[in-house]
Structure 1
Amino acid sequence: MSNTSNFRQAINQAKNQTLIGSNVIANALPYVGGGLVLTAIGTYGGLFVRANNPEIFLPTFIAAFVVELILFFVAQNVAEKANNKVALPLLAAYSLLSGYTLSGIVAVALGTKGVGIAGIGFAALGCGITFIGASKVGSNLSESDGMALTKTIGLGIMALFVVILAQVMFRLFGVYTPSWLEIAVSGIGVLLFVGSAVVDFFILPRAYRDEQYLSAALSMYLTYINLFIFILRLLIALNSRD
């Protein structure tokens, strides 16, 4: 966020901004909720397979991940054209597969002492609280502060995923992240996706028309799924210290 002398003044300035999709977030919210329900179902399915057929979990996990990536880009392109009848089933399938791949970290959380089901509930609650706070802050940001925050969060998330990619590469060669670094990366991830939630409420009504609600829903869905993941990562890292 840019430096301003008075944040309250910035909020007052934002009230007069012209939006191209003043109802796009309201239109998107039911689909965000539906996507999260499907993700929960997919996660349960992944946990079931992992518990009852562990030998097939890894190959199905990899297959789901690949198809999930393909679906994301296809659904994103279709949704941006406001072809909602085609985009909706694609996004539904994407949400289910996202849940299946999410079951990996959920299983780790369930098996980590001090996290468990309570930690998963805490992560979900954290996403809900973030949504409430972000909706109040993001929708009232001034143009200058909103754009500055958007650019800052965007750069931060890019840097974060470069670090995560490096972590994955190191693990392939048997080099594991020290616990303090994992805590730092996870904590920064939580902060960045809290910021991303604020950005959604500022930028989506300026980026999408009302009929492009599925594109807005996908953006919000990704924000909260990633926030959930990084809260879980942080809890796992905090409870796995030597």
Structure 2
Amino acid sequence: MLAHINYIAFDADDTLWENETYFREAEAQFAALTAKYFPTDDIISRLFETEMRNLPRYGYGIKGFMLCLVETLTQITTDPIPVSLLQEYISLGHAMLDKPVIVLPHVLALLQALSPSYQLLMLTKGDLVDQERKLKKSGLASYFHHIEIMSDKKPADYQAILTKLGCEPADFVMIGNSLKSDILPVLALGGYAAHIPFSETWEHERVEEDVVHPNFIALTDIREILPFLKRIQQS
């Protein structure tokens, strides 16, 4: 029997607003700046290795990414690093932090449609200060009953939030673009999870296998969650 959904949670980056494209652009600029020290084709993979090694230290977000840019450069050259190049890296990070917040299509209308009937949550990874900046600039904060900036998105992390809210997993649906972070952990708890793909996916968030689960919802348009919720209400 289908549950009655009380809480609907949204990921933020690349679900509510654009994010990953800014990292891809920054990586390309980093590779161009570093080309004199290392082949462009290899520098991105070296950067990714540095990011993965430092993820437990820095967590997710632009500031950790900036530190990984500098560390990667120190690993690929023994030459003195010009201060001007380091300044360009810092400027690259600052530009990312100053990017406009572009709310994705249909998000605002969906939140307006859902907020009268459901408790809406925003559950996202990332740097606290930066995510708060983006939320404020997005103009979406007022639609959410609860907002959580999470250090990670494992099943235990979701369970802790559900316990705090007094919500059973079967009465909860998570909407997000990452199968690894937004979908699989929630399905493991017995909740519902709706995947809405974004045009860019960070290598760390990629999942190769198909997701097969009775509580999995595949979306091509975020508004497609509405008929799913209607079916539950009528069950």
Please tell me the TM-score bracket, short chain as reference: under 0.3
Which has the higher relative contact order, 1 or 2, with Cα contacts under 8 A spaced 6 or more apart?
Answer: 1
Higher helix share: 1
Relative to the length of structure 1, the TM-score reads: 0.25
Relative to the length of structure 2, the TM-score reads: 0.25
